[in-house]
Structure 1
Amino acid sequence: MDISHFAEEFRALATLIKDPDEADGPPAPGTVSRPTPGSIGPKELLNVKVPAPKARNDPKEIWREDELQDVVEDEYDDGRETPSYEFLYKQAVDTADNFLGMSMKDPSSTSCEDLVVRIELPKAQGASELDLDVKDTYLKLSSPQYKLSIHLPHKVDGERGKAKWDPAKKTLSVTLRIIRDEPF
C-alpha cells in the first residue's frame, strides 16, 4: 500500500469530522484540537427539548396512586399457607404446523397463546370455597386454608380466563390468554 494513498484517506477522514464553524489554522492556546463525541454532527441535534414533569402536590412524592396499575393490595402475612404453583404455556398447533412444517411457530414460549397457572391445593374441600381474582398482570387466590398473590410473567386478558377444578388431584388450573404488545 502506498503511503501517499494512506495520507489522502486520512485527510479525507479529517475533513469529515472537522467542525465547519472552526477556522483553519493552528488551534488557540489551551484548546483541544481533537473532536469529541459531542462535537461531531450537526449542532441542531444538541438542542433537544425534554418535556417538564407533571406538577405534583407533594414535592417528595415519587408517584401518584392513579399511575399505578394492578396493585396487589394484600401483601401481608395473615398465617394462611401459600400453595405451590407453576406456570405452563399452551400453543395451538394443527396438522400444517406439525406435519407440513408450514408454520413460523417454534417450541419456545414466545409462540404460545395461553398461560396456564396450575395451583396445588391439597387441603381444599372444593372449588366453592375458593375465591379467585385475575387482573391483567396478577392473580390472587384465597380460601380458608390458602392465600396466593402472584404477579404473572406476561400480560394477560383478565376478563376472559377459564378456571378448572380437578377434585381427584386437588388442583386448580387457570388458563389465561396472553396479550402480546409487540408482534415479532
Structure 2
Amino acid sequence: MESLGVSSLQNLRALSALLNPQQEQEDEDCERQNPSAALCPGNIGPKPKKETPAVSSSFSNSKDIWTEEEVAEGSQFDDLDDARPQPEFEVIMKQSVGTEDIFLGLNGKDPSSMSCEALLVKVKLPDTKLADVVLDVRETFLDLRTPKYKLGLHLPHPVHSQEGKAQFFREKEELEVTLLMKRPLDFINRR
C-alpha cells in the first residue's frame, strides 16, 4: 500500500508536468539539489509573466514624471519656507432647517452631515484688515493668506468654489467663509 505522502508527491509532479511542460526540465535540476524544496503549490502551473506597467500616452512624448491628475489639489500652495503661522480656524457643517423639518419631519432631514448643505469656515485673524486678506477657494482646498498668517485647508467635502460667500467681522477679527457643498444628489436635494 502506498503511503499518502508519496502518492501526493507523484500527483503534484504529474499535474505540474501537464500544466507547464517547459518547467519539467527546471524541476528535475532542482530535485537533484533538494527534492522536497522543489515542489510546492507555487510551482504548479505556468510561471506568471512579469508585466510592465502601462505607460499613459501623455508620458510617451514627455519627460514628465507625473500627470496633473496625480497631484493633490492645493499642493501648489504648500510653501515649506514660509514661516507665517497658521491662524485658529473652525469648520462647521450647516443645513437649512425650517419648522416643517423640526416639528413634522417632512423633508426627511436628520442631524447627520449627510443632510448638510454648506460648510462654514471661521478663521480668527487678529490685527488684520480686510484689504490684506487674499482668499482662493477650490473644490477641495481653501487658501487664505494675509501678511501675518497663512492657511492652506483641505476641505472635508467638495464644494462649489464659485458659489460661496465670505464676511469679515472687524469687531471679532474673524473671517467667515460659507461654501455650498457638492453632493452626489444635489439635483434632487436642492429646491
TM-score (norm 2): 0.63
Asked if 1:138 corresponds to 2:136, the answer is no
Contact 2:74 2:154 in 1 (8 A): no
Q: Match for residue 114 of structure 2?
A: 110
Q: Aligned AA for 1:30?
A: N
Cα RMSD of the aligned pairs, angstroms, is 2.8
Asked whether the 8 Å contact 1:161–1:175 carries over to 2, the reply is yes
Alignment of 1:24-173 (within 5 A): 30=11, 54-55=56-57, 56-57=59-60, 61=65, 63-65=66-68, 68=71, 70-76=73-79, 77-124=81-128, 126-173=129-176
2:122 alignment partner AA: R
Deviation per residue, 1:47-71 (Å, 9 max, x gap): xxxxx5523236993x313554633
Whole-Å separation in 2 of the counterparts to 1:81 and 1:182? 38
Aligned partners of 1:81, 1:166: CA distance in 2, in Å? Answer: 21
Instruction: Give the AA of the match of 2:95.
Output: Q
The answer on whether the counterparts of 1:90 and 1:113 sit within 8 Å (CA) in structure 2 is yes
Q: Structure 1 85/103 Cα, relative in aligned 2: closer, same or farther at 3 Å?
A: same
Amino acid at match of 1:54: S
> Which residue identity is paired with 1:108?
S
2: CA distance between counterparts of 1:182 and 1:70? Answer: 23
Distance 1:155 1:173 in 2: 18
Aligned-partner SS, 2:157:
coil
Structure 2 residues not aligned, in runs of 5+: 1-9, 13-53
> 1:30 is paired with a residue of what secondary structure?
helix
TM-score, normalised relative to structure 1: 0.65
SS at match of 2:11: coil
The structure carrying a bigger helix percent of its residues is: 2
1:174 aligns with 2:172: no
Percent of residue pairs identical: 40
Q: Where do 5+ consecutive residues of structure 1 fail to align?
A: 1-28, 32-51
What one-letter code is carried by the residue in structure 1 that aligns with 2:127? Answer: K
Aligned residues: 137
CA distance in 1, matches of 2:91, 2:183: 17
